Amino acid sequence: MYNNLYVVPGNFLATVCPLKKKTSTEPPDIPIFLRQELAARDKIFSAQVNSYYNRLILWITQMNSDHLKEG
């Protein structure tokens, strides 16, 4: 008989220890939130890529500099 028993965790938790407050999504309107996040990240994207590029060039320059070479 025990092989045929199963528990659905969501139903079990709702029955044994129900939530005191009603659940809600945060933020309330997800598509608008995603559009706003995309617009904010799009504004800083090119500056961030340029920053990474400058750091890479600086690192390459330091690795190729003469004072790091043994001689």
Please report the beta strands in 1-71, taking only residues with DSSP state E, as ranges in sequence order. none
Q: Could you tell me if residue 70 is inside a domain?
A: yes
Q: What is the pLDDT of residue 68?
A: 65
Among the listed residues 44, 63, 45, the one whose alpha carbon sits nearest the alpha carbon of residue 55 = 63
Mean pLDDT, residues 20-35: 84
Question: What pTM was estimated for this model as a whole?
Answer: 0.47
The total domain count for the chain is: 1
Q: What is the mean pLDDT of residues 19-35?
A: 84
Range name among 13-22, 26-35, 37-46, 51-60 with the lowest pLDDT average: 13-22
Domain of residue 63 covers 25-71
pLDDT of residue 10: 82
What is the average pLDDT score of the chain? 84
In a domain, 60, yes or no: yes
> Could you give the residue ranges of the DSSP H alpha helices within 1-71?
9-16, 30-64
CA distances from 62 to 9, 58, 69, 71 (A): 56, 6, 10, 16
